Amino acid sequence: MRRSSMMLAAVAAMLFPVHRAEATDVATQPNAAGQPSDESIAATSPRDAARRAEWIAQPRTPPKELVGFFRPAKRYRGCLGEYRSPLLFDDGRQVETAADWQRRRREILQTWHAAMGPWPALVDAPRVETIQTTRRGRVMQHRLRLGIALGDEMVNAFLLVPDGDGPFPAVVVVYYDAQTGVGRGTPLRDFAWQLARHGFVTLSLGKPNSGVNLETPTSIPARSHPYLGPHGRPVTVQPLSALAYAAANAHAFLARRPDVLADRIGIVGHSFGGKWALMAACLHDKFACGAWSDPGIVFDERDRRKDNPSGSVNYWDEWYLGAAPGTIVEGGRAYRFRKPPSEGEPRTGAYRQLIEGRHDLVELHALMAPRPFLVSGGTADRPERWTALNHAIAVNRLLGFSNRVAMANRPTHEPTEASNDEIYRFFEWWLLERED
């Protein structure tokens, strides 16, 4: 390995070590034996952890189809907007070294988990129920139920495994329901199916309260009902963070499989799923990369209904970050979108606390460094979002990395074949291809 690569690998290893004392304080709590629970199956092996650090540190150049997405539009180059820099500690001190960033990174995690509610320990051995196994061309599809959600709730999932000699890289796909990701729902959201055809093991997840209806995809049980947490229990973790917790457990489920490369697992989602994928990738650093399709990557209280009628940046809603802690979760309710706080609707839940503390999602973007991510922007995330993404670029620059923050743009909220191909190419580049 070249000297520069060795130095970058050392930085990556420092940021993502095998054992981290802060795991109990930040994202997990002690297990039944009173010991801190390791929040990464991939990190239980020093060999896997070292290989992962080396992989992340490789100074790879994006392919020609993607390279332009890693360059901010000229008018936004160097613009940081009004966002508070993630390179400032809470007390105002400047982050100046990689060691400083490790401490600042821990501070950001502690702040966000304190606001959203701490995660319980990750699920070491989730319950697995196999409902049906089907061959689809050169892909084996396994319909599963996995015990990966808060309160040991089961989640519907589809595991797709391509033919061939593994192990393979993998991608977790998240959306309102599990079947859309495998091509049994709204068109152009079939990320799991398409990525499996590209040579990835994929795991498609839906909300814990969503069912499956392969015969009539327009009538998926509870798809239109918000997920706030385990049914009949009080809200202890904000719903978006609770979904990220389930995705972290999904990562662990995949990482244990002998046909999966534990150090090369990414995550992708669109709209609602984009918010879910963003939160999971940022909070759980064992995801090697992420792709977020038009989620709204920052808090944005402007009235966007005219120019963004089918995609909301509504983190204030109760099914994202606006749930009142202690509320008993009831089933059967449909989504009720609230007006933007700019129109007089009060902020609630963790969203209120974060806004009043001058926090924004740029802090979470920064947690990705030096792992790469792609924003597949539409009407929710237009080129102006580079003013937020430039902060993540600054963190990567401090750590000695480049080509880790990308954004592509399209004129619609809905994905297109072209925008989806960009996502698939991103995962191929980062997880599948190796440079000599």
- pLDDT of 7 reads 65
User: 253: which residues sit within 8 A by CB, 6+ positions away?
Assistant: 126, 128, 146, 148, 203
> What is the arithmetic mean of pLDDT over 90-118?
98
Phi and psi at residue 77, to the nearest 5°? -60, 120
Full-model pTM: 0.91
Residues 324-342: tens digit of each pLDDT: 999 999 987 887 888 889 8
Torsion of CA 142, 148, 151, 154, to 10 degrees: -10
Alpha-carbon distance of 227 to 332, in angstroms, equals 10
Residues 59-77: tens digit of each pLDDT: 889 999 999 999 998 999 9
The more confident residue out of 199 and 13 is 199
> What pairing do the DSSP bridges indicate for beta strands 139-146 and 128-136?
antiparallel
- Interior/surface letters 312-334, b for 16+ CB within 10 angstroms, e for the rest: bbbbbbbbbbbbeeeeebeeeee
The 8 Å CB, 24+ separation contacts for 103-110 are 105/15, 105/366, 105/367, 106/22, 106/26, 108/363, 108/364, 108/366, 108/367, 109/22, 109/26, 109/27, 109/283, 109/367, 110/22, 110/25, 110/26
Q: pLDDT category, 47, cuts 50, 70, 90? A: low
Residues 237-290: tens digit of each pLDDT: 999 999 999 999 999 999 999 999 999 999 999 999 999 999 999 999 999 999
Alpha-carbon distance of 196 to 90, in angstroms, equals 43
In what helix (H) or strand (E) does residue 269 lie, and over which residues does it extend?
A: strand 260-270
Q: Which amino acid is at 106?
A: R
Percentage of the chain modeled with pLDDT above 90: 79
- pLDDT of 19 reads 39
The more confident residue out of 121 and 36 is 121
Torsion of CA 224, 228, 229, 231, to 10 degrees: -60
**Domain housing 408:** 3-432
Phi and psi at residue 158, to the nearest 5°? -125, 125
Counted domains in the chain? 1
Lowest mean pLDDT among 24-28, 112-116, 119-123, 320-324: 24-28
- pLDDT of 385 reads 97
User: 397: which residues sit within 8 A by CB, 6+ positions away?
Assistant: none
- Checking if the pLDDT of 16 tops 70, the result is no
User: 62: which residues sit within 8 A by CB, 6+ positions away?
Assistant: 69, 70, 403, 406, 429
- pLDDT of 334 reads 81
CATH code where residue 158 lies: 3.40.50.1820
Alpha-carbon distance of 158 to 142, in angstroms, equals 6
Residues 167-205: tens digit of each pLDDT: 999 999 999 999 999 999 999 999 999 999 999 999 999
Q: pLDDT category, 3, cuts 50, 70, 90? A: very low
Phi-psi region of 107 (alpha: psi -120 to 50; beta: other; left: phi over 0): alpha
First to last CA, the chain: 10
What number of other Cβ atoms are within 10 A of residue 117's Cβ? Answer: 21
Percentage of the chain modeled with pLDDT above 70: 87
Alpha-carbon distance of 394 to 57, in angstroms, equals 17
Exposed/middle/buried for 34, CB within 10 Å: 0-12, 13-18, 19+?
A: exposed
- Checking if the pLDDT of 4 tops 80, the result is no
Lowest mean pLDDT among 32-41, 85-94, 297-306, 318-327: 32-41
Residues 340-349: tens digit of each pLDDT: 898 889 999 9
Residues 370-398: tens digit of each pLDDT: 999 999 999 999 999 999 999 999 999 99
